[in-house]
């Protein structure tokens, strides 16, 4: 599988982990700050949204840190509804997928800037493939903490490896 298809597959996988976590959470859980000074799931989504829009809007022709981005405001826990959270989630991912979808292998060596530093397109994609799953992992962990035993596993559940391996003929 080539790099672009592989990264699209990985981004899709991580988006799906977030989507399936949101389905399990109450509205209150999306906005709960687990400890003083920590971020709610809504705030994490708000930050991811700002990051994705900044990085992927006109990313071949403008710096990935846009002058209109208000990064510090991304950490204000002020998204009030589930709809607002999910709208930001969808908009951020759409921006990313719309930007990487048309890329070709030849584009991977092109130079783009992020905070005035040059990156190849490939490096910029890898950078996001490290950043976004980091935050999705936070979302999933918070979902597990909030739901406890009621959380439905998103991958192989604890104690399920043998059954999984058997089903796969391993």
What is the Cα–Cα distance from 14 to 74, expressed in whole angstroms?
21
How confident is the model over 8-53, as pLDDT tens digits?
999 999 999 999 999 999 999 999 999 998 999 999 999 999 999 9
For 21, counting Cβ atoms within 10 Å of its Cβ (0-12 exposed, 13-18 middle, 19+ buried), the class is buried
What is the Cα–Cα distance from 42 to 167, expressed in whole angstroms?
37
How confident is the model over 132-166, as pLDDT tens digits?
999 999 999 999 999 999 999 998 778 777 776 77
**CATH top-level class of 3-167:** mainly alpha
What is the Cα–Cα distance from 48 to 95, expressed in whole angstroms?
11
CB atoms within 10 A of CB 25: 20
Q: Are 57 and 66 in contact (CB under 8 A)?
A: yes
Domain ranges of the chain: 3-167
| pTM value > 0.85 | yes
């Amino acid at each position: 599988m080539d790099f672009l298809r592989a990264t699209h597959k990985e981004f899709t996988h991580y988006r799906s982990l977030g989507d399936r976590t949101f389905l399990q959470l109450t509205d209150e859980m999306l906005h709960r700050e687990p400890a003083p000074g920590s971020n709610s799931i809504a705030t994490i989504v708000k930050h991811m949204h700002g990051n994705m829009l900044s990085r992927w809007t006109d990313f071949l022709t403008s710096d990935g840190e846009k002058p209109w981005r208000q990064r510090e405001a991304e950490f204000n826990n002020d998204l009030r509804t589930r709809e607002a959270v999910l709208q930001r989630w969808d908009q951020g991912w759409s921006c990313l997928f719309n930007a990487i979808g048309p890329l070709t292998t030849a584009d991977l060596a092109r130079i783009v800037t992020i905070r005035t530093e040059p990156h190849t397109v490939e490096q910029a994609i890898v950078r996001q493939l490290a950043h976004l799953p980091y935050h999705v992992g936070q979302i999933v962990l918070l979902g597990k903490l909030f739901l406890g035993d009621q959380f439905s596993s998103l991958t192989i559940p604890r104690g399920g490896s043998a059954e999984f391996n058997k089903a796969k003929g391993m």
